[in-house]
Amino acid sequence: MKRLWFTLALLIGSLTACRDAFDIDLSERPITPGKADFTTYVALGASLTAGYQDGALYRSGQQNSYPAIIAEQMTAAGRKGLFKQPIVDSEEGGIVVSLDQIAAKPDLLPPSVVRKIKEFAGTSLLPSFISEMLKKPEIAIKLLADLLSTYRLRIFDDLFLPKYVLTQSEDGRLLPQRLPGPGRIIIENIYKSQGPFNNMSVPSLKSYGFTEKGHIDITRPYFSRMASASDASILGDALKQNPSFFSLCSDNDVFLYAVDGGIAVDGVAVYRKGDADVASYDVHDITDPDVYERSINEILKQLTDAGAKGVVLNVPDVTRIPYFHVIKWNGLELTAAQAQAANASQALQSYNHKLDVLQAAGEIDDAQLRHVAFRAGHNPYLIEDADLKNIHFETEIPTGSGKDPIPIDLSQVRPAQASDLLTLKAAEALRGLASWNGGHLPALFVLANQFVLTKAERKNVEDATKRYNDAIRSLADQYGLALADIHALLSRAVKYGITAAGNTYTSEFISDNSIFSLDGIHCNSRGYAIMANEVIKAINATYGSNIALVNPNDYPGIAFP
């Protein structure tokens, strides 16, 4: 009997040894900043850092910006106070095109824009043109929209339009479409009422723009909302807050070049390698890598001199975003009859003939490359390639009974190749063309330069991206800062997907598993959460802090109607 009691005692003893808790209970683990100090965190960047998504800056998008997510997680590791962002007062986004503002200060417009408007309005001078527009606002909006699309005025294009939402067409297809009408955000300075701002990110900002003073004008509307003074600089306003920690992401220097297919406001954009004269840059030009390095160095130097520690994000490979992978280069489907008719058309016959003549005369050597012959099935789209020699070949396509023929310019045209990337905006253009043409695409049309990132243009993008990232790596090293490899993160998402608690996130366009928003360029909130995790991991690894990550699934994805 004694033995029995002994055994019982042993059993009860071993039972109580089974503690009802984890070996290391993470909920009780102290969160430490390590060697960093997160008291005041300031984020610097462009649209990606501002929380831009669905082609606009809007309230809930900003609230889920990656700096906002990081800041929330940093709070347990010693961050103090509210993390203030210049939140816009709209869920729809887009800036109200303030005609009053333009009328009052026409000199705020870039000269090239003024020139285009003058061309458009004929002999009338700008102020009178604008006062005409003000009298008829509906016509003015239409006119501006035409101006935008005709003259590719980049600054108006994205910033001034409300966000994309997913809409269902009659045949059931879910397509992203911008909300109708003009933008919703009235630009007014909110520094006095709400500032200073911890998220100092300004959409469309370039590396050399952080230190530039002023720019409280319509070319940088989002900075004019948050600037402390009319001669303030973004870096200056950041430094004023005595940041103990910062993040810096300057991803915009190669970005507009890529998404607008290498066009400029005035013609063709250029990779400004070796050209430090930033005043002469078009907004689409690729920044000189030396300028990029000097600009980043200046920012990091000033911030670290002021005692801040921080994290630098490198530049993702913009050619991997879904924006370039929705439309395939050879997506033009033709029947045998359509192909035959196009091949037999006067326009094509004379075009192909002219190529042969020019080649024989030694004036061009790429007739083969430009030669157009359609066949049944998948055909490459015809694209405008500004790197081709201009052969001045404009012709007309007859549209039949009584209608005017359509002019077509084949001066710098070739069939697309697998290495050419067509933009998401080409998809919109193709849809428009098809509906105009009675539901299907015609055979003979040209996708303009702005819709195509050619192989040569991709090379420029790749070269600049690589040089920027080399600079970022060595500068992060030099200043002892954390480096978040967003470039590798995007590659991983594209190649393998990124898993998060049962979900695999990819770079697919329009999917509940996508990290991208409806513009195909910027992340959605889940993508920003994944970015935030990558940045937090880099901070933890460098400074020995242990900021907790977030679950990307807890953030909103694309909104389905």
Chain residues that interact with other proteins, rule: CB under 8 A: 1, 4, 7-8, 11, 14-15, 18, 20, 22-27, 29, 166, 168, 171-174, 498-504, 512-513, 533, 548-551, 553-554, 556-557, 559-561
The least CB distance from residue 561 to other proteins, in Å, is 5
Residue 268 CB, shortest distance to other proteins, in Å, is 36
Which is closer to other proteins, CB of 77 or CB of 161?
A: 77
Min dist CB 167 to other proteins, Å, is 9
**Per the omega criterion (within 30 degrees of 0), is the bond before 196 cis?**
yes
Is the CB of 46 or the CB of 550 nearer to other proteins? 550
Minimum distance between the CB of residue 536 and other proteins, rounded to whole angstroms? 9
Element (H, E) at 41: strand 41-45
Which helix (H) or strand (E) covers residue 348, if one does? helix 346-360
Contact between 516 and 522 (Cβ < 8 Å): yes
How remote is the C-alpha of 318 from its chain's centroid?
Answer: 8
* Secondary structure (DSSP) of 23-64: SS-GGGSPP--TT---SSEEEEESHHHHT-BTTB--HHHHHT
**What tokens appear for 381 in the block?**
């789209």
Least Å distance, CB 493 to other proteins, is 13
Measured from the CB atom, the residue of 351 and 505 that comes closer to other proteins is 505
Q: Which is nearer to other proteins, 9 or 357 (CB)?
A: 9
CB atoms closer than 10 angstroms to residue 169:
10
Instruction: Kindly report the backbone phi and psi dihedral angles of residue 184, in degrees, each rounded to the nearest multiple of 5, phi listed first.
Output: -110, -10
What H or E segment, with its residue span, contains residue 303? helix 289-305
To other proteins, the closest distance from the beta carbon of 501 in angstroms equals 5
C-alpha count within 13 angstroms, C-beta hemisphere, residue 120: 20
Nearer to other proteins, 448 or 549 (CB): 549
What are the beta bridge partners of residue 43?
Answer: 199, 247
Q: Which is nearer to other proteins, 10 or 456 (CB)?
A: 10
Closest distance of CB 139 from other proteins, Å: 35
CB of 293 to other proteins, least distance (A): 34
What distances in angstroms separate CA 441 from CA 324, 329, 430, one per listed residue?
A: 20, 15, 7
Angle at 245 between CA 240 and CA 247, to 5 degrees: 95
Based on CB atoms, which residue is closest to other proteins, 346 or 504?
Answer: 504
C-alpha torsion sign, points 143, 444, 370, 420: positive
User: What is d(CA 133, CA 289) in angstroms, rounded to the nearest whole number?
Assistant: 42
| 171 versus 277: smaller Cβ distance to other proteins | 171
Query: What is the nearest approach in angstroms of other proteins to the Cβ of residue 2?
Result: 12
SS3 56: strand
CB of 492 to other proteins, least distance (A): 12
DSSP string, 275-290: ---GGG--TTSBPPHH
| Shortest Å distance, C-beta 526 to other proteins | 8
- Least distance CB 439 / other proteins (angstroms): 16
How far apart are the C-alpha atoms of 87 and 556, rounded to whole Å? Answer: 18
Cα(234)–Cα(217) distance, integer angstroms: 14
Which residue, 268 or 549, has its beta carbon nearer to other proteins?
Answer: 549
Query: Coil, strand or helix: which one is 25?
Result: coil
Which is nearest to 262 in space by CA: 287, 284, 289?
284
Joined together, the tokens standing for residue 289 give 């890598």
| For other proteins, the closer CB: 24 or 361 | 24
C-alpha distances (whole Å) from 306 to each of 112, 144, 235 are 39, 45, 12
| Sole residue written with tokens 């889920």 | 64
- Closest separation between CB of residue 64 and other proteins, Å? 14
Contacts 24+ apart (CB under 8 A), 417-420: 417/329, 417/380, 417/455, 418/329, 418/330, 419/454, 419/455, 419/458, 420/329, 420/383, 420/452, 420/453, 420/454, 420/455
436 vs 560, beta carbon nearer other proteins: 560
Give me Rg for the CA atoms of the chain: 27
* Residue 27 or 401 having the CB closest to other proteins: 27
User: What tokens appear for 235 in the block?
Assistant: 């870096």
> At how many degrees (to 10) do helices 525-543 and 486-495 cross?
130
Closest to other proteins by CB, 5 vs 274, is: 5
Least separation in angstroms between residue 70's CB and other proteins is 14
- Whichever of 33 and 221 has its CB closer to other proteins, that residue is 33
